[in-house]
Amino acid sequence: MAASEPSPVLKKGTRSTSVAILLMLAQAAAFAAPPPDSGDADAPAEPPAFTLRGFGTVGIAHSSESRADFISTDFQKHGTGYTRSWSAEVDSRIGVQMDAALMKNLNGVVQVVSEQQSDGSYRPRVEWANVKYDFTPDLSARVGRFVLSPFMASDNRKVGYSYVWVRPPVEVYTMMPMTRTNGIELLSRSRFGNATNNLEIGFGGGKDNLQQGPIKWNDGWGILDTLDYGKLSFHAAYVRTRLTIHAYDPVFDAYRLFGAAGEAIADKYDVDDKPSSLLTLGASYDPGKWFAMAEWGKIQSDSLLGKRQAWQMTGGFRYGKVTPYLTYSRATVQSSGTADGLPYPQAAALNAALNQFLFAAPEQRTVSLGMRTEVSRNVAFKIQLDRSRVGSSSVGTLVNTQSDFTPGGTYHVISATLDFLF
Amino acid sequence: MRSLNKQMLRMLVGMAVFNGVPAASADVVVVASAASGLSSLTPSQVYDIFLGKSAYLPNGALAMPIDQPETSSERRMFYETYTGKSPAQVKAYWSKLIFTGKGQPPREAKGLSALYRFMSRNAGAIGYMDRSEVDNRVRIVEIME
């Protein structure tokens, strides 16, 4: 049930599969032994033991740019701005997770999330489904569906309660939009004095449905490292995969009809099994009363996605239950934003389409001012104001741009969310 | 009387937080199983064990950290002192690890009797309690830089 299929019959099938999984989870929880982190806390819980937990966000957002949609991930059909002046669909979601201690040292996790998808539906999807075996407390392997985390909040981006922002900065976190992959991963932890190093090496692939159509990533691998030294943390990652986005195919298929010159353009720009990589660096310092973090990423793809960089810096202070914060984030495109195409009048429409694709690469910078407030146990309220400036030859991170949209402008997004755990 | 003490503790913690003074001087002590032979830890070892960054005690035994109930003032004071994090910050920290399948928080004792029982049955157990509640089933772990 990884991706929605074109057939309505199959769609119906995947929906009932999701419902069945949710029901299974609920039943298992009802019959489950007390979770290992509660109950009488005697000797270690004897497997199998099940724990059911959840997270969610109820949010509303408004964008001042009415000729395009602001979205929080590339997997959403529509957002705020053009489609709706105020939208609850940008940030709202709910997730349920079942943890199972299956045997000694063998744990399973299944997480199902319902949120707006590229077809506009809220069909629950299996985000995580993996088993993890601990060879030692410091060396584990997991197999199944999980996600690598090239940025510091890539893997927990759906859990609003776990971070300070309303949403991770879009300039950085839309660089690698994938939220799940099917594969295998080794996790290793080592200690040097008071420092803890976490090394992850993963292999896998997957598919999903972007706003503009299906995306596939095959033969992916990544090496990720996090070094914690008390309140200081460093993160670095390199991930590489072969990327396919078929939405662009009709244009490149047409180019190929023009012979060698057309083939060359198609081979250079199409996104069909193209090697693509992402390199990231990040650091954070969190002594409690305040915190600061910064991260940077660079993507390189032998396709129209080209070379891009993005970075963000966030800092905040904690006054009791209130945490005001400030974020600056920026995405830039290093590869050329235009292409000459073919010098034939018959190819003019194709050349225009190709340039339209390149134009969609996000150049944008945003200043966000926000505040997180702890409302009660397990509930946080956040408000955030973003002021974004779009590059002069780009649509920024906006989608569903209308013909009267003009690049180079400034727009504001105001958002409020309630993030909760259960 | 006990609830009065707790109220006072809460007030003290509140004042300490408000004034930015660490609540370290309060009488919440780190305890280990009496059988463990563990006599001292550094603050960063406590930090790493309770935030799941370290799986072992210095003597090589598997660490089994255990929390007091979420609403207890002992828990609040312990985390303020050794991690600089409020209960909500600790919760946000664990929500990242739990929902990415990368970690589970310490077990939680429902009450003192459950805490004593856990401490006496598990040699690697490590917890915290009010100094006045320490008895011969647990030993106080000295915290040394």
The domain spans of chain B are 27-143
Q: Which residues of A touch B106 (CB under 8 A)?
A: 37
Please give, one letter per residue, the 3-state secondary structure of B39-103. CEECHHHHHHHHCCCCCECCCCCECEEEECCCCCHHHHHHHHHHHCCCHHHHHHHHHHHHCCCCC
Nearest C-alpha of chain A: how many angstroms from B119?
A: 9
Instruction: Decide if B96 and A230 are in contact by the 8 Å CB cutoff.
Output: no
Q: Which residues of A touch B84 (CB under 8 A)?
A: 231, 287-289
| A261-290 residues touching B, CB cutoff 8 A | 287-289
pLDDT at B6: 57
Task: Identify which of A43, A243, A178, A193 has the alpha carbon closest to the alpha carbon of residue B44.
Answer: A193
Establish if B111 touches chain A: CB-CB under 8 angstroms: no
Establish if A162 touches chain B: CB-CB under 8 angstroms: yes
User: Is pLDDT at A358 greater than 50 in this prediction?
Assistant: yes
In which band, very low, low, confident or very high, does the pLDDT at A372 lie, cut at 50, 70 and 90?
very high
| Residue A229 exposure: Cα atoms within 13 Å on the Cβ side | 7
Task: Report chain A's mean pLDDT, rounded to a whole number.
Answer: 89
pLDDT at A13: 41
- Can you tell me the mean pLDDT for A200-206? 97
Instruction: Please name the member of B48, B70, B117 whose beta carbon is closest to the beta carbon of A42.
Output: B117
Instruction: Decide if B101 and A142 are in contact by the 8 Å CB cutoff.
Output: yes
In which band, very low, low, confident or very high, does the pLDDT at A76 lie, cut at 50, 70 and 90?
very high
Residue, of A319 and A42, whose pLDDT is higher: A319
Q: Which domains does chain A have, with CATH numbers?
A: 8-421 (2.40.160.10)
CA distance B95 to A51: 14
Task: Report chain B's mean pLDDT, rounded to a whole number.
Answer: 85
Q: Which residues of B touch A158 (CB under 8 A)?
A: 99
> Omega of the bond prior to A48 within 30 degrees of 0, cis?
yes
CA distance A25 to A127: 14
pLDDT at B117: 93
pLDDT at B5: 57
Summarize pLDDT for A280-289 with one digit per residue, the tens.
999 999 998 9
Tokens standing for residue A112: 């199902």
CA distance A125 to A94: 11
Nearest C-alpha of chain A: how many angstroms from B75?
A: 14
Ranked by mean pLDDT, which of A99-108, A409-418, B19-28 comes out on top?
A409-418
Instruction: Decide if B84 and A161 are in contact by the 8 Å CB cutoff.
Output: no
Summarize pLDDT for A221-235 with one digit per residue, the tens.
999 999 999 899 999
Instruction: Decide if A421 and B95 are in contact by the 8 Å CB cutoff.
Output: yes
Q: Which residues of A touch B55 (CB under 8 A)?
A: 137-138, 189
Establish if A99 touches chain B: CB-CB under 8 angstroms: yes
Which of A72-76, A127-131, A378-382, B2-6 is least confident?
B2-6
Nearest C-alpha of chain A: how many angstroms from B103?
A: 11
Give SS3 for A329.
Answer: strand
Q: A-B interface: how many C-beta pairs under 8 angstroms?
A: 120
Q: Where are the alpha helices (DSSP H) in A314-403?
A: 348-359
> Residue A199 region, left (φ>0) first, then alpha (ψ -120 to 50), else beta?
beta
Instruction: Decide if A97 and B115 are in contact by the 8 Å CB cutoff.
Output: no
In which band, very low, low, confident or very high, does the pLDDT at A40 lie, cut at 50, 70 and 90?
very low
- The total of other beta-carbon atoms located within 10 Å of residue A352's CB is 11
Summarize pLDDT for A293-322 with one digit per residue, the tens.
999 999 999 999 999 999 999 999 999 999
Summarize pLDDT for A236-253 with one digit per residue, the tens.
999 999 999 999 999 999
Instruction: Please name the member of B64, B108, B121 whose beta carbon is closest to the beta carbon of A38.
Output: B108
Instruction: Decide if A42 and B98 are in contact by the 8 Å CB cutoff.
Output: no
Q: Which residues of B touch A230 (CB under 8 A)?
A: 44, 47
Instruction: Decide if B95 and A228 are in contact by the 8 Å CB cutoff.
Output: no
In CATH terms, the fold of domain B27-143 is: D-Maltodextrin-Binding Protein; domain 2 (3.40.190)
> Residue B135 region, left (φ>0) first, then alpha (ψ -120 to 50), else beta?
beta
Nearest C-alpha of chain B: how many angstroms from A350?
A: 43
